[in-house]
Structures are given as structure tokens and as C-alpha cells.
């Protein structure tokens, strides 16, 4: 009888030990099996779930615009005063709803390249007004012409055309005109067929394509899936890890665009190609703005974070009405660490134009300093929808959580059984010996 009892206790301890070992083994093996299954489906190649959802995203992406409405145009032109601006917006468009085109795989470096067709649909319910709302903004053509054509004789000719067209340093334009294009009265008088007479911050846009983008397809390194390698043949900007957060029940890693991305070449040598104006940049010591005129046919376009966030004081000093805010104006990506999918993002950017004094152009001759004038800032956002979040949790997060629960139950029950039966066995042995 004593032997049977002891044998039973030993058997129970052995079963507990087996369960504990099995639970321990299941941790790495189970994680590996699920991870392998998931990784197979998140690679961007024909036939995977990820590829189908990537080519034409089901997530709605919106682009919001805020316009910097100039409050004192006459005062600036006459006295070279600080420019007073008032932010107006948001005006919202739905974008990136068209399927990617010219999708081409490159097996040598595990990348896929594509073009993103452009399209924008105005969303009145998400906007403070209509596309016909008017704003006072810098005259894009006048400011750019003085910069692009610096020859004194040419500027005299341009001045006569500016006066004839009744153009000035500032103009009043509707949202639709400012974003998507308008026929400029000054440029329409320029007697050269090669001069484009239509001006707009995003002109042309509809029926065009953005790219070529080249992104990693995830083969060999799933953590890089969908991360941009190059854009139009050039290296893309980067983000750095900030924190781990919970997005609709899904653990994600938040990556942010660091201030270093807009730093001066002295702080970030990678930005040396954006310092083309030694005077404007104070011998390349100013920071917070990037000169992209080389990408804009010489037009003096500068990009920055909204409200000159992280910019040097000399950049924002001539502009009144700015209120930079880290939470509202920074760029971030929320990435699910197992699949590498971006489940939420906010891309924020400001478009600015340089305007300088010009002795030959009357509209600019009273200026006594240079201005980097903010025109608009935009916020392009996308968040995984509730339906897709539920699907993601059930197919990815749910399986991992369930496996983790089973692992812990097996391990816990096994350890408890082993300890309990061994204690009982030892107690029985002790009584037997007595």
C-alpha cells in the first residue's frame, strides 16, 4: 500500500516535471513556428496577404492643410516689418487611395520599386471651410522670379511685367488655387514659351505619379519590410525609436523624426547638400530648414517642421504668430515589431518660400532683410481601421498571446505539480522511516 502511494507521488512529480519542461520548450519553439508563419505572409511579394493590402491600401489616408494667412502685407512691403501670420485650417483631402503602379521586385537587394499615383478628394466634413476660401499669401511667382533671375537687366524687364500685371509681393488666392494651381498674371506676360504660366504648391498633382519609391520587401530581414530605401534614387530620411505604446490593443513601437534630420551641416554632415545659400544660412549655421531649390528648378523652396519646430531663432524671428508644439507638429510612425507593418503614422511638414530684397523690382525693393516665409503646413495621417485591427489581433497578436498563455499555464501547473508531489513523497518517506 505504501509502495503504491509512493509510486503515485513519484509519477505525479514526473508528470509535473514533464509539463514544466514542455512549457519551457514550447516557448522558443512555438514562438519560432508562429513567427515563421507570420513572416511568410508579411513579405511584400505576389501571393501574400501583406502584398495584397500593400498594393492598394484599405486604410484611409488623409492630408490636412493649414494656411498661414498674412495679416499685415502692406506694413511688410513698406517697412520690412515682421510678417504677422494666422494659421487657418484644417482643410482635409483624402489621398493615396489609388493602387500602386509599375511594381517591380529586385531579388538582388530584396527590394520592390513602384510609383504611387496621385489623387486628392476634398473632404468637406473634415474641413473648416471650402476650397474657395481665400487667403493672403506670398506671391509665389514674384518671390521666385527675383531669386531665379538675379541679372540686373533681366530684373528690370521682370519689374515692368510685374507692374503691368498689377502683381505685388503678396496676393489673395483660394485654397484650391494655392494648392492645385492658377494661371499667374505676371508669368502670363513673360514672352518665353518655355516659362510655365500655371503656379501652385502641388501643381501638377491629379493624374500624375509620385516616385519612384524603392522599399524593402522583408525577405531576409522582416523588420525592414516596407521601409523606404530610396526615393527618386536618393536615400530617404530616417526615424529613431521613442517608446512602446498600445494601439487598439496592439503593442507597437513609436519611431519619431529626430531634430537632427533638420540640423545644420555642422551638427549633421549629411545635410551639407541642403546648404546652398551661405548668407541665408549664416554660413551653414542656421538649422531647422532644408533648402530644396535644386529639386524645384531653382525656385527658393525650403521645407521644415510645422511652425519652424526645432529651427534656430534667426529663422523664426521675422515671423509673428508661430507656436511650435512637439506633440502637434512632429512626425512619427507606429510600427508593429513582429510584422514590421506601419499601423499608424503622421507625416508633418511645412512649405516655405525665401524672399529677398531686390533693388530692381519695386515690389521687393523696400525690404531690408531676407524672409523664409511659411506658406502652408500639412499633416498626412493614416491609422489602421477597427475592422483590420480586430483581424490583426486575431491572426497575429491573438495567436501570440494565446501561445504565451498556454506556455505559462503548462510551466506553472508543471512546477506546482512537481513541487507538491515531491513534498508529499518526502513527507510519506519520513513517516515510513519513523
What pLDDT was estimated at residue 232?
A: 82
Count of beta carbons in the 10 Å neighbourhood of residue 347: 15
What pLDDT was estimated at residue 141?
A: 94
Count of beta carbons in the 10 Å neighbourhood of residue 427: 11
What pLDDT was estimated at residue 30?
A: 45
> Is-contact 359 371, C-beta < 8 A?
no
User: pLDDT tens-digit profile of 50-67?
Assistant: 788 788 877 889 999 999
pLDDT mean over 79-84 = 97
> Is-contact 312 283, C-beta < 8 A?
no
Distance of CA 180 to the CA centre of its chain: 22
> Is-contact 292 302, C-beta < 8 A?
yes
Crossing angle (nearest 10°) for helices 2-42 and 398-433: 160
What pLDDT was estimated at residue 410?
A: 38
Q: Where residue 355 falls among pLDDT bands split at 50, 70, 90?
A: very high
Burial of 387 (0-12, 13-18, 19+ CB in 10 A): exposed
For 73-108, give the DSSP string. HHHHHHH-PPEEEEEEEEEEEEE--SPPEEEEEETT
> Is-contact 171 144, C-beta < 8 A?
no
Pick from 15-24, 64-73, 247-256: least confident: 15-24
What pLDDT was estimated at residue 411?
A: 40
What pLDDT was estimated at residue 40?
A: 67
End-to-end CA distance of the chain: 17
d(CA 116, CA 109): 21
| pTM of the full structure | 0.82
Query: Could you tell me the residue ranges of all domains in the chain?
Result: 1-58+407-433, 60-384
Reading phi first (left if > 0) and then psi (alpha if -120 to 50, else beta), residue 415 is in: alpha
Q: Is the pLDDT of residue 387 over 60?
A: yes
User: pLDDT tens-digit profile of 95-153?
Assistant: 988 899 999 999 999 999 999 999 999 999 999 999 999 999 999 999 998 888 888 99
Sequence-distant (6+) residues with CB within 8 A of 206 are 118, 119, 120, 180
d(CA 159, CA 305): 33
Amino acid at each position: 500500500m505504501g509502495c503504491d502511494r509512493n509510486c503515485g507521488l513519484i509519477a505525479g512529480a514526473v508528470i509535473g516535471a514533464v509539463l514544466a519542461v514542455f512549457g519551457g520548450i514550447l516557448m522558443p519553439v512555438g514562438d519560432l513556428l508562429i513567427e515563421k508563419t507570420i513572416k511568410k505572409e508579411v513579405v511584400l511579394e505576389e501571393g501574400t496577404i501583406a502584398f495584397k493590402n500593400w498594393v492598394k491600401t484599405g486604410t484611409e489616408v488623409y492630408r490636412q492643410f493649414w494656411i498661414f494667412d498674412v495679416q499685415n502685407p502692406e506694413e511688410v512691403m513698406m517697412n520690412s516689418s515682421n510678417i504677422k501670420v494666422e494659421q487657418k485650417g484644417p482643410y482635409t483631402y483624402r489621398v493615396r487611395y489609388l493602387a500602386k503602379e509599375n511594381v517591380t521586385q529586385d531579388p538582388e537587394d530584396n527590394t520592390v520599386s513602384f510609383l504611387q499615383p496621385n489623387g486628392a478628394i476634398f473632404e468637406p466634413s473634415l474641413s473648416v471651410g471650402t476650397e474657395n476660401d481665400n487667403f493672403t499669401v506670398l506671391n509665389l511667382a514674384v518671390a521666385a522670379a527675383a531669386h531665379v533671375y538675379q541679372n540686373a537687366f533681366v530684373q528690370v524687364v521682370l519689374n515692368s511685367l510685374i507692374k503691368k500685371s498689377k502683381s505685388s509681393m503678396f496676393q489673395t488666392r483660394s485654397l484650391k488655387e494655392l494648392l492645385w494651381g492658377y494661371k499667374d498674371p505676371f508669368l502670363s506676360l513673360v514672352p518665353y514659351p518655355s516659362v510655365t504660366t500655371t503656379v501652385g504648391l502641388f501643381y501638377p498633382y491629379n493624374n500624375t505619379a509620385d516616385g519612384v519609391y524603392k522599399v524593402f520587401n522583408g525577405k531576409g530581414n522582416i523588420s525592414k519590410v516596407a521601409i523606404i530605401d530610396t526615393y527618386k534614387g536618393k536615400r530617404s530620411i530616417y526615424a529613431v525609436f521613442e517608446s512602446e505604446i498600445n494601439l487598439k490593443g496592439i503593442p507597437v513601437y513609436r519611431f519619431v523624426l529626430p531634430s537632427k534630420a533638420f540640423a545644420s551641416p555642422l551638427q549633421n554632415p549629411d545635410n551639407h547638400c541642403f546648404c546652398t545659400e551661405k548668407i541665408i544660412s549664416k554660413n551653414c549655421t542656421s538649422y531647422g530648414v532644408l533648402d530644396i531649390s535644386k529639386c524645384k528648378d531653382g525656385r527658393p523652396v525650403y521645407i521644415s517642421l510645422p511652425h519652424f519646430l526645432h529651427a534656430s531663432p534667426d529663422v523664426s524671428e521675422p515671423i509673428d504668430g508661430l507656436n511650435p508644439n512637439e506633440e502637434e507638429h512632429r512626425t512619427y510612425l507606429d510600427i508593429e515589431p513582429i510584422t514590421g507593418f506601419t499601423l499608424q503614422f503622421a507625416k508633418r511638414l511645412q512649405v516655405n518660400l525665401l524672399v529677398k530684397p531686390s533693388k530692381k523690382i519695386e515690389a521687393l525693393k523696400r525690404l531690408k532683410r531676407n524672409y523664409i516665409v511659411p506658406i502652408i503646413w500639412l499633416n498626412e495621417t493614416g491609422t489602421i481601421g477597427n475592422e483590420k485591427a480586430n483581424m490583426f489581433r486575431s491572426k497575429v497578436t491573438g495567436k501570440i498571446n494565446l501561445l504565451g498563455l498556454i506556455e505559462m499555464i503548462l510551466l506553472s501547473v508543471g512546477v506546482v505539480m512537481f513541487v507538491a508531489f515531491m513534498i508529499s513523497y518526502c513527507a510519506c518517506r519520513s513517516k515510513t522511516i519513523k
